[in-house]
Every structure is written in C-alpha cells, then in structure tokens.
Structure 1
Amino acid sequence: MVHVAVTRDAQEILELDVCGHAGQAPHGEDLVCAGVSSIMVGMLNAIDQLANETCELSMVEGHIHIRSKEGDARAQLLLAATLISLQTLEGSYSGYIQITVQEV
C-alpha cells in the first residue's frame, strides 16, 4: 500500500510524505504506483521550476518527502493541487493508497 502522510496547520501544508508500493498489479503494470509516481515527480519538478527554494525535497526509491518553508503561496498552491490529485486517486483505489492528515 502507498501511504501518504500530510502534516498541516490550519492554513498551510507543512509536510507531505509518500512511501510504499501499491501492490495493485505486478511490477511494471501497477497503475496506482504509476499514478502516484507521476503525480509526485510532477510535483517535485513544479516546485523546482516554479517555487525553487520554498521546500526541502527528498526522493529515494519508494519514498518522497517534502517539507515546506512557511509563508510561500506558490508552494502552498502546488502542495494543495498535489494533495487533491492524490485524494482523487485514493477515491478510485482506496485499497492501495491511504492518505492521513494530521493537524498541528
């Protein structure tokens, strides 16, 4: 299962952590993993090109971690759009992706 952990305060997404593999289909045929990977790599590229230095980014096999620096509207818009995309995927494949949101 893909686990997405979101840490937020009332107004901002502070962290987004994605790890695991969906296991929806054999390696190379897993649509859920492909979807999550596409969403997250697109997000990393968007932050790099549109909001550089607004977030700390980390990506290793099967794990992506994003920590936002407070107060940047560009980063917050990108993070919110990413969360919506992941939630849409979770709506169709809830047995393979789980999103938890923690308010701090």
Structure 2
Amino acid sequence: MTSVEILRDADGKICEFRSRGHTGYAEAGRDLVCAGVSSILQTAVLGLEEYLKLPCKVEQEKGYLSCQLERDIFLNREIDAILETMVLGLRAIAREYPEYLKVEEVVGHVNV
C-alpha cells in the first residue's frame, strides 16, 4: 500500500507532502495505481518548481517522495491551485482503490 501524508500549516495551507510505499496493485511496470499516484505527485512538484519557480526541498528514492515548500504569500492562490488539485486527484484514486492508497492529512504542521 502507498501512504500519502499531506501536511498543512495552522492556516490549513499545504506546506509539505510525503509518499511512502508501493501500491502492490500489479507488478512493477504494470501498476496503474502506482503510475497514477506518481504522476500526480511529480506533476505537482514540477508545477511548484518549474512553473511557479518556488524553491522546494524534494527528496526522492525508490518508494519515497517528499516535497517541502516555503509558501510565497504573493503566489498563495497559484500554490493552492496546484496542491489542492493534487489532493483531489489522490483522493479520487484512493476512493477507487482504497486497499492500495491511503491519503492522510495533518493540520497544524510546522516546518522545521
């Protein structure tokens, strides 16, 4: 199972997300659930870094991806559009494949 943790600050704004594990839906290279989750997460990172030019602390290795960002108040609307759309996509997959993807949200997180 893949677990995605969405960390929100005290204002409810996403400040970090982490993905761990493999979905186990199918063998590597044929796992549509894993491919969907990976595509959504990586596209969010690209939107933040390449489109909005935000400096993000990204860690990626096999079965793990994390992205921590410093929010720019002048880009809050754009950041929210990217990240909340990411959450919508992940939740849609989790509804269809609950045994393979779990999405959790933590509110009140403080970046250290």
Q: Same fold (TM over 0.5)?
A: yes
Output the CA distance in 2 between the equivalents of 1:81 and 1:75. Answer: 10
- What do you get for the CA RMSD once the two structures are aligned? 1.5
Task: Give the Cα separation in 2 of the matches to 1:43 and 1:63.
Answer: 15
- TM-score normalised by L of structure 1: 0.89
Answer yes or no: is 1:82 the counterpart of 2:83. no
Q: CA deviation at 1:54?
A: 4.4
Structure 1: segments with no counterpart, 5+ residues: none
2:104 to 92, 100, 104: 100
5 Å-filtered alignment, 1:1-104, equals 1-9=1-9, 10-70=11-71, 71=73, 72-73=75-76, 74-104=78-108
Runs of 5+ in structure 2 lacking a partner?
none
CA deviation digits over 1:7-66, x for unaligned, max 9?
A: 113330111101110001122211110111111221222222211224322222221111
Is the contact made by 1:6 and 1:100 (CA closer than 8 Å) also made in structure 2? yes
SS of equivalent to 1:17: strand
Q: How many residues align?
A: 104
- TM-score normalised over the length of structure 2: 0.83
- Identity of paired residues, percent? 26
Contact 1:15 1:66 in 2 (8 A): yes
Q: How far apart, in 2, do the equivalents of 1:76 and 1:16 lie?
A: 13
User: What is the distance in 2 between the residues matched to 1:29 and 1:90?
Assistant: 18
